[in-house]
Each structure stands twice: as structure tokens, then as C-alpha cells.
Amino acid sequence: MVNIESTSNAIWWIKNPNAAKAGGTAGRKESLGSSFCLDIAELLRNISLQGYSKLLASELTLPERLIWLLVHTTTLISMVAVLMLTWEQFIAQYFVINLKDPLYPVENVPFPAVSICSNNRISMRAATAYALELQNNDPSPHDLKYYLDNLIHLRKLYMIGDKEAENDDYINFQAFLDIFGTWNNETFFDTRRIMYMLTPKCTEYIIKCSLNNVNIPCFSESAFQMKLTKYGPCCTFNSNNGLKKRTFSNRLADASFGLTVVINSSHADYFAPVLYTNGYIVIVHDADNFPSITSSNSLEMFPGQREESYLKIFARVIDTDKSLYSFSPFGRRCYFHREADMPQRSYVYTFPNCITRCRIRSIIALCNCIPFQMPLDLVDNLDGLVYCTLSHISCLSQYQFKWNNVLTERLRIPGLERESEEALYCPQCLPSCNDVQYSVSLNELPIDTYLANLSPDEIDTELGTDLSVLRVYFGQPHANFYMRLLNNEWFEIFSTIGNILSIFMGFSLVAIFETLFFFCKYIYLGCCRILERSRANSKAKMLDERKLHICP
């Protein structure tokens, strides 16, 4: 028997002809959109935020409601803009260095290394002895003056980039040294050995030393040693950082209780001065750093001859909160000592050492040599590496501007594009998280006051009259102690954002809960409605597949 209802009104191109009839008989369900509009109107009438009930107040006219709508819209846009600016400020000033203790005891501050360099970089006696050695090695010897006149060219190794007419004499002399100036076991001319041999000895230059008003041996591991500096081998005090830890009685914070050095300032042994001064050179630097002014954190002073010089040191200690270990070095903008990649794990990372290492890499890459003054501990690979000689002077002078100007990040500054491109770029170098920065002040008095306090026997037999005195000490019994830490903790950010929300819109935790509850409710209802429709469609599809439809 055929079902008439299923066939009499059926249309062949409708997949489910009974769907319309079933939908017509069923009760119409209220739409989610209309329910949302009714509930949001109820939310605006009863929300704890001020002024939103005005949007639906029956006693207000339509223009008045539009004014309130404009006010709320402007307030919302202003609040979002202020929040974005505040967040950018939080990101830009995420870390800050604050003054923690302005009266930090100076005995807890490491005493810096003090390098004393004679302006005369080649001793006359040592040059004469080496000239005699070259004369003996020369198969066609010249008179002694010929070798001395050529040995003075070695001064160019200290004065790289000095404006002077090019001369082939020193290049020819270097060719002679490469053959007759080497020892039997040397493959190349050892510039460092020769310059050590020609440099004035510390024992001839430094006469008497005292520390904390007590006379000490001048030449020992705890006093002066011959160390490399920017000016080659110099007499360096505290090179092993032995005065890092001291007591209150040894805080070195007075002229009479600091370091006192009596220096022989005679010019009798002068052969090759490098500066246009009659005095000597003093470099104050951290004991862990290679003393180079162009690598920062080294201070260079030029006390006068026959003067009593008072060198005051002022320290600034910078530490970093231990909680910042969890941040990346480039995020906190500093390296802890054992964090950076150094050639030797025992070598302490500092920003000046990183710059020196970067400069050494550039010199080796461009000129295929290393200046004899540079420390070998910062070189990655020593295979096939030679010390720079007089034949490398032209190459070293060509790139001297590059090595004297260092950038750790490049900024586009109008007018300085060329300088930025020609400077040495070391982006891997960051400041040390734990650092001590020094500043100095130099005062000088005539040597007469010091000589007046000496006995006649000391002047005649021990010291002589051609003297200079250097006093190095801390200028204050305390130092400034700074701490690098987070600028804004979570509760500071929370309170700032809460204040902004309260000022613009009167937000509170209750209002936030009301708003979130409303939107979460309709997100949940919408998801449920989507699931119901999906299930109904699936069920209708299954029933439709099981029915038999007869089409005319």
C-alpha cells in the first residue's frame, strides 16, 4: 500500500520534503541573538560600573543617550591608548640600576692595578747592547751608530697611526732583523722578546715603595711586576688582584696610608720617548682587565717630572640581583663573569677584555699578525700567528681609526653613517653584571716638600735628587654601591594597570567578574547551540537515509 501523504505533494528536487511540515508544527525556539540583546541590556542597567545605565535610561532623550555613548566610547579609546603606552614604558625600562648604599665601605672595594710606564720606551743601555749583538751578527758590519739609528724605528710599534712620511729604511731594517735578529730556535722575528729586552727595567725605574705607611719590597708577586700594557711592558702594581679583600685598618683611604712610589725621573737613559712630555705615564685599571684606554674602564694620567703627585681614586660598585640569572644576557644587558664564552674558562669575562678580544680578531684578520702588546690569553688560535713587525706598520696604520672606535650596536645617526660603517663592530660584548668602575683626580706639588723630610744620607746614597713621587689612594672612605634589578615587579604592574582602569572606567574586580561572567555565559551557550544543531543535523541525515522516498 502506498502512502499518499508522502507522494501527493512531494517535489522531486527537495531532499527531505517532510522537513518543512515538521518545522512548521514544532514550536519556534527563541534565537540566541535576541536573548543576547536582552541580557546585555539587563547587564548595562545593573552593572557596577558608573554611567552605563544612562545608555538605556527611559527618562533620557535619544540625543542625551548618544552623548553618553560618545563619552563612553572616547573613554574606552583613551584607556586603551594609555594602557599601550604604559606597557611600552614597562618593557623599555624593564631593568634599572638603583643606588643601594651611598656609604659602602671602601675596604670592600678592590684596589685597582696601577701600571707605571716610562715615557722612554727603549733604554739607551739596552739598545747599545743589542746594537753590538747585531753588529757581530752582520756579515758586513757597519759602525755602531748605524744600528742605533735604525733601532729607534722600533718606536713606531708604539706610535701606530702617527702622521709621518713613509720611509723604506725601517722596512729594509726589518728585513735585516728577520735574518740576523732571530735566535737559532726562532722561525720568525720575536718582536715581544726584543721589546722586553729593550724596555727600561723596573728595577732601574722604581726606587722605593710603601703601602699603608709601611715600606715593602717593590718587586714581588704582591707588589710590582713587569706586565704588558698599551705601552708595552710596564711596572704594574697589584696585577694579581691581591688587594681585593682588605680590612678596615688597610682601607688605603689616605695619602699617607695608600701606595707611595719613589720614581727615578732621570733622562740619562732616554733613547726613544713616545710622548711629548717630560713626565711618566700612569694607568689605573681593574686588575682583571688588559690596560688599554680604547677598551674603556682604564684611566690614563701623565704626572710631571720632579713632582709629588697625589692620585685620588673614586670607586663605583655595580652588582646585579641574583634573580636576574633566569633572564638571557641580552635581555638583562650584561654578562655574569662565568657566563660568556672566553678562550680560557679560568679567564674572567669583563667588557674591556671582550673589546680587546674583538680588536685582536680584527687585527689578525686584516693584517695577519698580533701586536706584541696584546695578551695571548684572549687569542682563540695561536697556530701560525706571528707578532707584528715594522713591515706591518703600514697595514696597522691603515686600520687604526677602525680599532680605536668601537660600536656594540649600530644606530642610524644622520651625518655619521661613514663613521658607523668604518668603526669596529662588537655586538657580542656586553657590560659585566658585577663590576667596579673607577674615576681619578690628580693633584701635584713640587718635590721640595718630600725631599725636605729626607735625611742627607738618603739623598746622597739611596735616592739621589732626580726624583718623582706618586701617591695612589682612595679619595673617600666610602663608595657608591649600585644594584641592577627589575624595575617593575608583578604587583607594581598590577597596581598601575588597576589605577588606569579605575580612573577611566571605574573598573573593579567585581565589574571585571560581571563582564567576564556575561561573555563566558554566552560563549558557553553558543557552543552548546552549535553542538545541538550539529547533533540534530546528524540525526536527521541518518533518518533521511533510512526512509524510502517515491518521487513522481
What is the distance between the alpha carbons of residues 266 and 279, in angstroms, rounded to a whole number? Answer: 10
Q: d(Cα 209, Cα 211) in Å, to the nearest integer?
A: 7
Instruction: Measure the CA–CA gap between 259 and 282, rounded to whole angstroms.
Output: 13
Q: Convert 241-272 to b/e letters by CB count within 10 Å (16 or more is b).
A: ebbeebeeeebbbeeebbbbbbbbbbeebebb
Contacts of 468 (CB under 8 A, 6+ apart): 262, 263, 265, 279, 280, 303, 304, 305, 306, 307, 308, 309, 447
Q: Look at residue 12 and tell me whether its pLDDT is greater than 60.
A: no
* Range from 31-40, 123-132, 320-329, 430-439 carrying the lowest mean pLDDT: 31-40
In the chain, what is the straight-line distance between the N-terminal and C-terminal CA atoms, in Å? 16
Q: What does DSSP say about strands 206-211 and 259-264: parallel, antiparallel, or unpaired?
A: antiparallel
Three-state SS sequence of 240-265: CCCCCCCCHHHCCCCHHHCEEEEEEC
436-to-102, 333, 431 alpha-carbon distances in Å:
14, 16, 11
Cell 711586576 belongs to 225
pLDDT at 479 over 90: yes
Closest CA to 88 of 488, 478, 457, 361: 488
CB atoms within 10 A of CB 112: 27
Residue 451: band (very low, low, confident or very high) from pLDDT cuts 50, 70, 90: confident
Write the DSSP assignment of 309-326 as a string of letters. Answer: EEEEEEEEEEEE-GGGGG
What's the pLDDT tens digit per position in 492-528? 666 677 777 766 666 666 666 667 777 787 788 778 8
Q: What is the DSSP string of 248-309?
A: GGG---SGGGSEEEEEE---TTBS-B-SS-SSEEEEEE-TTS---GGGSSEEEE-PPTTEEE
The C-alpha cell 663613521 sits at 419
The pLDDT assigned to 29 comes to 53
Q: Where are the alpha helices (DSSP H) in 440-505?
A: 448-452, 456-457, 490-505
Q: Is 472 exposed, middle or buried (0-12, 13-18, 19+ CB in 10 A)?
A: buried
Residue 91 belongs to what H/E stretch? helix 62-92
What pLDDT shows up at residue 327? 81
List, for residues 406-426, the tens digit of each pLDDT value: 888 887 778 777 778 888 999
What pLDDT is recorded for position 318?
93
Task: Give the confidence band of 463 by pLDDT, cuts at 50, 70, 90.
Answer: low
∠191-196-200 over CA atoms, to 5°?
A: 135
Q: Which of 32-46, 68-82, 120-134, 408-422 has the lowest mean pLDDT?
A: 32-46
Give whole-number Cα distances, 37 to 33, 34, 42, 168, in Å. Answer: 6, 5, 9, 94
Q: 173 versus 68: which is more confidently predicted?
A: 173
Residue 402 three-state SS: helix
Question: Quick one: pLDDT band at residue 10, thresholds 50, 70, 90?
Answer: very low
pLDDT at 474: 95
Contacts of 114 (CB under 8 A, 6+ apart): 236, 237, 238, 259, 282, 283, 284, 472
Residues 387, 370 contacting (CB under 8 angstroms): yes
Q: Which tens digits make up the pLDDT trace of 159-183?
A: 876 655 456 778 889 999 988 888 8
Closest CA to 119 of 260, 261, 263: 263
Distance (Å, rounded) from C-alpha 257 to C-alpha 255?
6
What pLDDT score does 459 carry? 60
Residues in the chain: 552
Closest CA to 330 of 433, 421, 434: 433
Burial class from Cβ neighbours inside 10 Å (0-12, 13-18, 19+) for residue 222 reads: middle
Give the confidence band of 1 by pLDDT, cuts at 50, 70, 90. very low
Give the C-alpha separation, 142 to 513, whole Å: 99
- Residue 228, classed as helix, strand or coil, is strand
Mean pLDDT of all residues in 60-83: 78
Whole-angstrom distance, CA of residue 56 vs CA of residue 115: 82
**pTM, whole model, 2 decimals?**
0.73
| Spacing of C-alpha 289 from chain mean position | 14
pLDDT tens per residue across span 281-308:
999 999 988 998 888 778 999 998 889 9
Closest CA to 334 of 355, 351, 347, 356: 351
Neighbouring residues of 428: CB distance < 8 A, sequence distance ≥ 6: 354, 358
Q: Which fold has domain 101-485?
A: Acid-sensing ion channels like fold (2.60.470)
Per-residue pLDDT tens digits for 379-412 = 888 888 899 999 999 899 889 989 988 888 887 7
* Class of residue 483 by CB neighbours under 10 A (exposed 0-12, middle 13-18, buried 19+): middle
Cα(506)–Cα(130) distance, rounded to whole angstroms? 88
Q: What is the DSSP letter of 123?
A: B
**Per-residue pLDDT reduced to its tens digit, 314-352:** 999 999 988 888 888 887 888 887 777 666 655 678 899
Report the pLDDT value the prediction gives residue 310, as an integer from 0 to 100.
95
